[in-house]
Chains A and B, each alone.
Chain A
Amino acid sequence: MAAAVAMAARGCGGVWRRARQRGAGQPGPGPGPFPRGQRAVACNARGGAVPAGKSGLVPWVPVVGLEIHAQISSNSKLFSGSQVQFAAPPNSLVSFFDASLPGTLPVLNRRCVEAAVMTGLALNCSINKKSLFDRKHYFYADLPAGYQITQQRVPIAVNGSLSYSLCIDNKMSQMVTKTVRIKQIQLEQDSGKSLHDDTRSQTLVDLNRAGVGLMEVVMEPDMCCGEEAAAAVRELQLILQTLGSSQAVMAEGQLRVDANVSVHHPGEPYGVRTEVKNINSIRFLAKAIDYEIQRQIEELENGGTILNETRAFDSKLGCTVPMRDKEGKQDYRFMPEPNLPPLILYDAKSLPANMNHQQVINIDWIHERLPDLPSVKRKKLVEQYGILPEHSFTLLNEDGLAEFFESVVKQTQMKPKKVIGWILKDLLSYLKQHSLTVKESPVSSFLLADLLNLLEKKEISSPAAKQVMAIKAGNQKVLNKLIGLVQKKTEGRSNPVLVKQLLEKKLSE
């Protein structure tokens, strides 16, 4: 028994890494929705059967689904005119409606609806031309109305899918593409924030966030390990950022991920699931899920049972712990929101001729104006520049990096395949050393292109180019090395002081 447990524990790295290709017998290449019965049979290593372990136990199949709340990037809140802003002074962005003053009514923000439609289209959803708002009731200090307005019965978008890629064994060269089904996207209000002051045993409430628009993206339980979930969320994050529908910064709470985790034996019904909350980075998401899978397997192998509970991830301890509140067991007493008429969207066909364009949202119009999504951008980069697919992933992984690359390519005679190495290997590592983003890079695309041109013309050597870049990127110590190179080239005939002055002047240009 103990061996099996240890095995499972080790499996965190290996056993769950790769799912057997799902729906192998499924016709068509597309990432279309998988029929329920056909989803992952086993999440195992190297595509084979999960090793049963020395004790001969049946393998465990982890099942992971995600509920993601993405804060909509908009000037004002979902149902009120208050401004949306991160880290503003407490309670400085609160309208009468946000504070639930009696007699106030919700007025839907058009921008939030458009953001949800864009996101729905980008995730291959069907957009519901008629969706409804509901009230979800619970008492909590940061929920002033005693209910949250959400879309429980008919959400704005349903039945979509998200393709994401992950590499095997941390090898960039071995990438697989997977698909997770999107059950729905619903519009809803964010809550305020409660700050508990335990020493004075009081709770302080900040309503700045109360009523900010959220898109809840519900992913079907098509994933089977932390890494898959992390890759899916990362892809979603990139899509949201590309669309501009959410800034999706996890650290600022603009993207909040809850994971539903269960384990079961192949061919058996799903196990009892737990919901893991309080995950504030993608890295922790993977950790939390893998920990929870392992915990459940251990619990079951030891003859225990899994409770349908909400657990919080403790990033310091690296484990999940039961949450005290019993929110999950509440009856939310859903009810239609009577103050908001059904949300009606149009397409080119159904658009009424005499309708004021300010009053209507045209799905087709939004569709036509969708920007290139990350997957398309990557494909274009690979096709246009002949770079490796895994490099296209890295290029899109940071905001502005692909643009930087393209800009350098345009200004240099060096082949894109070579340029990519300079950017991904050298520039990025220098930037990382100094904790800088591409957008903050002291080495402009122009300068890098110039440098690479010199290199192409063999006017400077590769080490010299690297030194220049390093200095430019902030490493002054490298200047001495450069002086050494000049000395070497001039066979010691140059004045080191003068060389230093000249170099400094040149580099600061």
Chain B
Amino acid sequence: MGVGIKTRSGSGRVATARLSAQPGGPRSQWAAAFLAALPIVPRGVAARWRRAAAAPGEGEGRSAGVRRRRRAGGAMLRTSLRQVSAALKDGRVTPTELCQRCLALIKTTKFLNAYITVAEETALKQAEESEKRYKRGQPLGILDGIPIAVKDNFNTAGIETTCASNMLKGYISPYNATVVQKLLDQGAVLLGKTNLDEFAMGSGSTDGVFGPVRNPWSYSKQYKDKSVPKSHSEDEESNWVITGGSSGGSAAAVSSFTCFAALGSDTGGSTRNPAAHCGVVGLKPTYGLISRHGLIPLVNSMDVPGILTRCVDDAAVLLGSLAGHDPKDSTTIQDDFKPFEIPNLTDFSKLSIGIPKEYHAPGLSSEILALWSKAADLFKNAGAKVVEVSLPHTRYSIVCYHVLCTAEVASNMARFDGLEYGHRSDMKDSTESMYAATRREGFNDVVRGRILSGNYFLLKQNYEKYFVKAQKVRRLIANDFVKVFRSGVDILLTPTTLSDAALYTEFIQEDNRTRSAQDDILTQAANMAGLPAINVPTALSERGLPVGLQFIGRSFQEKQLLTVAKWFEKQVQFPVIQLEEVKRHDSGVFQHKKSASFS
């Protein structure tokens, strides 16, 4: 059974019935019908949307008693990258001070488990260098002195790169990934490496060897106010929600203000999914726009370095500093990439927003459905054309992805044999038994399971039946997008996730494969087609948790995509996270302690 609307069973939700009853209905009326069909618009959503969002630093109001300087520090950490860059330039804060504040906040939020390695020493050194440049009046650009974090599947010279796996625990790469090198070359300060699912295989950031990442929103005032604890002590421990994944550490790091931007990777939604759950912007650029050299691969033909930031403008800054041809990655495009500032969207008459009906998938929460249609209305009311479109092959995306992903995983993981690097078993009976033991000890069940399936699909007698067929389906999925864009649609608007973040205790009830299949459902097709897509935090759910919507653009049309996303971001005024926990631990902000790693 596919993902199509008609196959949806169960609760008999009105919206479903109406939509499936008129798939070919007049497009212009679709959005209205969509919304009207909902019996109740969730109160929380509507109310929150109407209210203008708090300005950055609003949460400070509660900590009026806190010493002034500390408050300023908090406020500084909660600004956008562009704002803090301006502050660095004006001398309102120094790179070292900023770095120390971030490092202190990382310590006080250690319980989030967002970082695997904190590179305190090198970060402070980099900050010092940056400070010298600012003093000379020669900063390297907007990123100089900006604290950033990098997912632990990007190679970083001299800093451990683990992929959250026993296989690479203690592995120190001799080289920097191209994206890491570019950030460093532009003066960014690398705070550390963020947590993930082992080898990025997962959608919760719960399946890494260093334990699950906790969603900062679990500790927000917004969530606590909504979730009524049953009993005190028990609840504190079991009430936290997941970040989504696999770039959950990066999303949590940006969301909890420990860094201004973070790199993730996105193969089936691994950047956008946690971005949605953590209330941050998550950009998956077009395949081929950013170098993968140094990114430890999951699926080479779909992997893209992802960008996680607090706002769309910041994502554009990062994109501008990372994009472009890399001689070390033959799949990057040769054309020059021109960094851009996002213009304001004013002319809606030429804008056509497509609403793919297949994204009304089984399990989509009514809240998100309502938000989605509200968003469509926003564009319509602004004067844009909003049309229902169909991507008929998207329903096969999950199975197709399963075959292609596991096949590449089986191949990519073949290099981990314990000989050149990484874990090596003590088993010495024979080379073969050493291989087997090394891989059994080094990989978790999820990785081993995917290797096993992948090798099965690649067997000579199965290759045509599975792999070749999956490739053909992938082509069909990609062609769906081509057709839609050719029909005049500029941007597709869809939900990013089916629901808000799940409680960890609930999330782990299901196995990784089932979860990944469900959670990637709305994001994966963009990877199949190589298209750029972005999660924009949109509103809080009834539980007080972030919900995001996704925009999918044409290949290499990031500027158009981000322009639309920025306009939308401005309209929805997503609230700032109110982190009681961060404030409570804020006293540590200036207490710089030396330790290379917290993990």
Task: List the interface of chain B (C-beta within 8 A of A).
Answer: 154-155, 161, 163, 168, 173-175, 177, 292-297, 299-301, 327-331, 334, 407-408, 410-411, 413-417, 419-421, 431-432, 435, 455, 458-460, 463, 467
Contact = CB atoms under 8 A, between A and B. Distances in A.
In this complex, which of A141, A334, A335 has the most chain B Cβ atoms within 10 angstroms of its Cβ? A335
A333 B455 contact: yes
Nearest to B293: A105
Nearest to A333: B458
Contacts of A334: 458, 460, 463
A102 B408 contact: no
A147 B331 contact: no
Interface in A39-66: none
Residue of A104, A105, A144, A145 ringed by the most chain B CB atoms within 10 A? A105
B566 to A, nearest CB: 32
Interface in A277-314: none
A331 B458 CA distance: 9
A51 B123 CA distance: 85
B432 A145 contact: no
Nearest to B297: A103
A124 to B, nearest CB: 30
Given A103-B155, A139-B435, A146-B415, 13 more contacts: A100-B415, A101-B155, A102-B163, A102-B296, A102-B415, A103-B173, A103-B295, A103-B296, A144-B420, A205-B419, A331-B459, A338-B301, A359-B334
A495 interface: no
B492 to A, nearest CB: 25
- Nearest 8 A-B pairs (CB), nearest first? A146-B414, A333-B458, A338-B300, A338-B301, A102-B296, A103-B294, A100-B415, A145-B415
Given A105-B292, A105-B293, A107-B328, A331 B460 contact: yes
B415 A96 contact: no
A400 interface: no
A141 B295 CA distance: 24
A203 B420 contact: no
A333 B300 contact: no
B263 to A, nearest CB: 13
Contact of A139 (B328, B411, B432): B432
B420 A139 contact: no
A341 B331 contact: yes
A193 to B, nearest CB: 14
A340 interface: yes
A106 interface: yes
B330 A106 contact: yes
| Residue of A205, A334, A338 most packed against chain B (CB within 10 A) | A338
Nearest to B408: A338
Nearest to A94: B420
19 contacts: A100-B420, A101-B175, A102-B173, A102-B296, A103-B173, A103-B297, A107-B330, A137-B414, A144-B420, A146-B413, A147-B411, A147-B414, A205-B419, A335-B411, A335-B458, A338-B301, A338-B331, A339-B329, A359-B334
Nearest to A100: B415
A389 B331 CA distance: 52
Interface of chain A: mostly helix, strand, loop or mixed: loop
Nearest to A359: B334
Contacts of B458: 137, 333-335
A101 B455 contact: no
A147 B411 CA distance: 8
Interface residues of A, number: 30
Nearest to A97: B328
A135 B293 contact: no
A107 B327 contact: yes
A139 to B, nearest CB: 6
Residues of B contacting A: mostly: loop
Contacts of B419: 141, 144, 205
A335 B294 contact: no
A454 interface: no
Nearest to A96: B175
B183 to A, nearest CB: 16
A108 interface: yes
A99 interface: yes
A373 B253 CA distance: 65
Residue of A102, A331, A333 most packed against chain B (CB within 10 A):
A102
A144 B420 CA distance: 7
Given A203-B431, A335-B411, A139 B300 contact: no
Interface string A99-126: 1111111111000000000000000000
Contacts of B301: 338
A338 B302 CA distance: 9
A465 B331 CA distance: 67
A96 B178 CA distance: 14
Nearest to A108: B330
A104 B431 CA distance: 25
Residue of B177, B296, B331, B415 with most chain A CB atoms under a 10 A cut-off: B415
A144 B415 contact: yes
A210 to B, nearest CB: 10
A282 to B, nearest CB: 33
Given A141-B431, A144-B419, A146-B415, A102 B330 contact: no
Contacts of A333: 410-411, 455, 458-460, 463
B464 to A, nearest CB: 11
Contacts of B455: 333
B447 to A, nearest CB: 13
Contacts of A137: 411, 414, 458
A145 B414 CA distance: 6
A145 B415 CA distance: 4
Nearest to A337: B300
Interface in A175-211: 203, 205
Given A101-B173, A103-B173, A334-B463, A339 B300 contact: yes
A135 B330 contact: no
A135 B413 CA distance: 13
Contacts of A101: 155, 173-175, 420-421
Nearest to B471: A336
A102 B155 contact: yes
A145 B330 CA distance: 18
A99 B300 contact: no
Contacts of B413: 146
